[in-house]
Structure 1
Amino acid sequence: MMKFLQRLGKSLMLPVACLPVCGILMGIGYALCPATMQGGDVSGALQIIGFFLVKAGGALIDNMSWLFAVGVAVGMAKDNDGTAGLSGLVSWLMMTKLLQPAVVGTLTGVAVESVNPAFSKIETQFIGILAGIIGAACYNKFKDTKLPDALSFFSGKRCVAIVTAVVSIIMAAILFFVWPVVYGALVALGSGIVSLGAVGAGIYAFLNRLLIPFGLHHALNSVFWFDAIGINDLGQFWAGATAATDGHSLGMYMSGFFPCMMFGIPGAALAMVHTAKSNKKKIAAGLLGAAALSAFVCGVTEPFEFAFMFLAPVLYVVYALLYGIFAAVTVALGFRAGFSFSAGLTDLVFSASLPAAAKTLLIIPLGLAALVIFYLVFRVMISALNLKTPGREDDDEAVDESKVQLANNDFTTTAQIILEGLGGAGNVTSVDNCITRLRLEVKDPLLVDEKKIKSAGIAGVIRPSKTAVQVVVGTKVQFVADEFKKLM
């Protein structure tokens, strides 16, 4: 089950990768054409260009649900074939069209305006994810199906979309009864968090970070960032709204991440470097410095988090708690900013001109406070509890520490070292990657040499199950994965 959820989390990163494009286009567009969000005439070349860019970015934001359907289907397919993506779209179209209020009204014999409001929210990211899972499952199961000669044209991949349509009709029938119940539960959860104001934003941020190791944070995000239950904090913020349709303070479920990611992580990374063993400080500084820079600039936090979450789980829980505290304080002070990808400098700059943005200069005192507090908490806990964070691992003579680095972007050499550490090509049964990690399956776990793998200069090695191995490479993992697959 956990392997399935982790693969789902990785698959979600494919459609989520579209969001930076939305943010850049809409951020520039709003700056050039304020009338797009404030009303008024659009005139002049610059305003027309701005209007065009806003609509271009909105083309993705407004259709996030089926982007999830296609992205998840491709990501969950065993060979990432595009046929699965088509099947995911087929499933999404079937379910959303069959469960439209007008159709439900006809089926139940009631007026459209009297149909359960849950069905007016059927085109959500949740349904997109479900459609993607159905599309991928049908593809994996039926892509090699052989039919009788008379129907041979529909054999193999051609039958996948047909099977998906049938399965989706059945799922739509199930959702007809289940969706109103699920929707009601999500509304209750969202309403409960919204009613708590700044404290609720803090609870959400805490749970968001706490679920990162399991890849389940995406499910939570779909409730508050997107339109699963009507909150849609991210969508409304970047659409130029001035107030949220459900009454919450627009941007409150994104704002609290900025001080933590931009300043808190660099502070925590500095604490790890300062508490590293004297002969390992240089190596720790290289690893953690790159991770901190990634978090500051674009809000990519996995290289930092996976560097210590399994080495020091108690520290990771405190790390998540710090997120919750800072999110609550940030929201209470009135700082508002939004992100299309993650809470880094890039998104802060682009979101600052949007109408919902407020008191963005507070990022300076909030950021400095996060830098100091994260640093002090991490330094005290690491020293007091003797936690084995990067640079504090037990010495091992078998590893030449001077070579524990990824030099000159030599991805081929890195892949070779990792493959050797995994016991060779014959011991590897599957290769995949997410945004920062190689995800592998091995035949014999006893052949895996973690110290050999770490000598390639990667962030860490994670063993979520007996045969599963995750190698944390960083944001350049795709290049290492490509070379690894060539070697395989």
Structure 2
Amino acid sequence: MKYLQKLGKALMLPVACLPICGILMGIGYLLCPASMQGGDITGFGPLVGIFLVKAGGALIDNMALLFVIGVGVGMSEDNDGTGGLAALASWLMITTLLSTGFVTTLFPSIADNVDKTLAFDKIANPFIGILAGVIGSTCYNKFKNTKLPDWLSFFSGKRCVAIVAGVVSIVVSVVLLFVWPILFGLLISVGKGIAGMGAIGAGIYAFLNRLLIPTGLHHALNNVFWFDTIGLGDLTHFWAGETSADVNWSLGMYMSGFFPCMMFGIPGAALAMIQCAKDNKKKVAIGLVASAALCAFVCGVTEPFEFGFMFLAPGLYVVYALLYGIFTVITTLVGFRAGFSFSAGATDLLFSASLPAAQRTVLIIPLGIAAFIVFYVVFRFAITKFDLKTPGREDDDDTDETKVTLANNDYTEVAKVILEGVGGKENVTSIDNCITRLRLEIKDYTAVDEKKIKSAGVAGVIRPGKNAVQVVVGTKVQFVADEFKKLCK
């Protein structure tokens, strides 16, 4: 669980890049409907719109790559950029070795299997991005101090990290070469199995769609229900101007349930997170989840919200996915029908409302109100009942440490006193820092002298474990950490 929470924190930086991009795309679609619906793009407004769509899409479409760097750096000791470089090497290795073109060259028979080909078409996804980030950061943490023979000494230390990450990535690619298409094909089979179950099937699909977001395998189900993989094509038929009379299912039923959840449910959950955040972290929580909620409402980009908590509170994410399934069943039964060509935000709702398959779109108001209330109540209850570490509720945020002021502005001297208090550099195995704390891993906890550490003028010393010491320095911790690292070299 701690590892998942660390991963969740590492994802905060790349996730923070996404909300503004989603908002830009939503505005862009409003100014330039042709960018979504097709047609000529003429006039100043539409040109500005397509410019904003492309600007936002530059990051949204490359979200996996942001995760590569964010996790690679964020999970590396000292947040060293070498971990990010190794992660990028891993990503390039995996996505190249598992690209459709290369895989079909190795095994030409795959080209004749639509499901397997589709699986490798979707290999550049957030799951592979996070996996590459984990490989890069783990290789950095394990091999950054590697010493090689003199004739290979140039590749010693950090220089060998990317090389090791590349070797590991080759092994991982070989495993995924056989495992990935099996998982992808299995999900397509599941999709075919639930396609004929009516409203319940639509709910199961929506649940699995959200549940699989972290892995990228939701694309397998999407292709079953949204496109013509097995003869459905809910999305393509909807935007082609057809109606339920032209197909053998209720057209739009596999898209409609996402609208109340994304437009209203996510803002409700976001409000619960903000209200449950610790007093000194409410502004941080507002900055992250409120902007993500606006992004989801406008254009249905949900990843900034989802990746903001799925690894911090995985159990809550399962509940979140379940709420999608429930609301999709309800939406299907009451007859609300809307479609999307990008995602289930207000922009797509506006454009799809005029299509022949759209039905009872005014129901988005009561459905949205219900979704807002249900998501809010469920999230607030779960967060407070089980003390979930959603944004703004992390363990190291119990006091307002941002207001701590060091008694001594000689950072070198402060670092020397702290180092002496933790038993000297021989007793230190790892050095890191967050916004306000110097985080140290030590060998012998009995060698720690808290009084000595506090004599440096720091606000406090926390001992979360036998081999861990956290020194509350305040917002100037980075300067103290830099000096501390120099003293330990």
Determine the C-alpha separation between the residues in 2 that align with 1:466 and 1:196: 54
User: Partner residue of 2:148?
Assistant: 147
| 1:248-327 superposed matches below 5 A | 249-250=254-255, 252-253=257-258, 255-263=260-268, 298-299=292-293, 325-326=326-327
User: Partner residue of 1:52?
Assistant: 51
User: Partner residue of 2:402?
Assistant: 411
| 1:24-423 superposed matches below 5 A | 24-110=23-109, 112-114=111-113, 116-117=116-117, 118-188=119-189, 199=200, 220=214, 222-224=216-218, 227=219, 230=222, 249-250=254-255, 252-253=257-258, 255-263=260-268, 298-299=292-293, 325-326=326-327, 328-330=329-331, 332-333=333-334, 334=336, 353=350, 355=352, 362-370=363-371, 411-413=402-404
Contact 1:335 1:362 in 2 (8 A): no
Determine the C-alpha separation between the residues in 2 that align with 1:293 and 1:361: 31
Contact 1:259 1:370 in 2 (8 A): yes
Determine the C-alpha separation between the residues in 1 that align with 2:284 and 2:73: 30
Total equivalences in the alignment: 396
User: Partner residue of 2:5?
Assistant: 6
Q: CA deviation at 1:23?
A: 1.0
AA partner of residue 172 (structure 1)? S
AA partner of residue 84 (structure 1)? G
Q: 1:129 to 1:208 in 2, by over 3 A?
A: same
Matched residues, percent identical? 46
* Structure of higher CA gyration radius: 2
User: What SS class does the counterpart of residue 22 from structure 2 fall into?
Assistant: helix
**TM norm structure 1:** 0.59
Contact 2:64 2:126 in 1 (8 A): yes
User: What SS class does the counterpart of residue 78 from structure 2 fall into?
Assistant: coil
Query: RMSD in angstroms over aligned alpha carbons?
Result: 5.8
Determine the C-alpha separation between the residues in 1 that align with 2:476 and 2:125: 37
Q: CA deviation at 1:64?
A: 3.1
CA-to-aligned-CA distance 1:284-338 (integer Å, 9 cap, x gap): 9999999799866643989x999xx99xx9x999998766544543465537698
AA partner of residue 39 (structure 1)? G
Contact 2:128 2:215 in 1 (8 A): no
Determine the C-alpha separation between the residues in 2 that align with 1:204 and 1:261: 19
Contact 1:266 1:371 in 2 (8 A): no
Determine the C-alpha separation between the residues in 2 that align with 1:149 and 1:325: 63
Contact 1:264 1:375 in 2 (8 A): yes
Determine the C-alpha separation between the residues in 2 that align with 1:318 and 1:124: 23
Q: CA deviation at 1:467?
A: 8.1
User: Partner residue of 2:392?
Assistant: none
Determine the C-alpha separation between the residues in 1 that align with 2:134 and 2:86: 10
Q: CA deviation at 1:43?
A: 1.5
User: Partner residue of 1:474?
Assistant: none
Determine the C-alpha separation between the residues in 2 that align with 1:231 and 1:9: 28
User: Partner residue of 2:14?
Assistant: 15
AA partner of residue 123 (structure 1)? A
Contact 2:200 2:329 in 1 (8 A): yes
User: What SS class does the counterpart of residue 73 from structure 1 fall into?
Assistant: helix
Determine the C-alpha separation between the residues in 1 that align with 2:290 and 2:38: 34
Q: 1:255 to 1:316 in 2, by over 3 A?
A: closer
Determine the C-alpha separation between the residues in 2 that align with 1:173 and 1:433: 37
Q: 1:148 to 1:105 in 2, by over 3 A?
A: same
Determine the C-alpha separation between the residues in 2 that align with 1:349 and 1:107: 45
Q: 1:67 to 1:296 in 2, by over 3 A?
A: closer
Stretches of structure 1 lacking an aligned partner (at least 5 in a row): 210-216, 235-239, 273-282, 391-403, 417-423, 449-462, 471-479
Contact 1:241 1:356 in 2 (8 A): no
CA-to-aligned-CA distance 1:129-164 (integer Å, 9 cap, x gap): 222222222222222223334433333222222222
Out of 330-339 and 19-28, give the one that drifted further: 330-339
Q: 1:103 to 1:64 in 2, by over 3 A?
A: same
Determine the C-alpha separation between the residues in 2 that align with 1:135 and 1:378: 34
User: What SS class does the counterpart of residue 145 from structure 1 fall into?
Assistant: coil
AA partner of residue 53 (structure 2)? V
Q: 1:253 to 1:152 in 2, by over 3 A?
A: farther
Determine the C-alpha separation between the residues in 1 that align with 2:131 and 2:84: 13
User: Partner residue of 1:455?
Assistant: none
Stretches of structure 2 lacking an aligned partner (at least 5 in a row): 227-234, 241-251, 294-303, 388-397, 408-417, 423-427, 451-463, 482-489
User: What SS class does the counterpart of residue 147 from structure 2 fall into?
Assistant: coil
Q: 1:121 to 1:367 in 2, by over 3 A?
A: closer
CA-to-aligned-CA distance 1:169-209 (integer Å, 9 cap, x gap): 22222222222223223434555676666546656777899
Contact 2:127 2:215 in 1 (8 A): no
Q: 1:414 to 1:199 in 2, by over 3 A?
A: farther
Determine the C-alpha separation between the residues in 2 that align with 1:36 and 1:374: 32
Determine the C-alpha separation between the residues in 2 that align with 1:432 and 1:186: 42
User: What SS class does the counterpart of residue 42 from structure 1 fall into?
Assistant: coil
Q: 1:467 to 1:61 in 2, by over 3 A?
A: same
Q: CA deviation at 1:82?
A: 2.1
User: Partner residue of 2:297?
Assistant: none
Determine the C-alpha separation between the residues in 2 that align with 1:97 and 1:431: 34
Determine the C-alpha separation between the residues in 2 that align with 1:218 and 1:415: 46
Determine the C-alpha separation between the residues in 2 that align with 1:467 and 1:328: 50
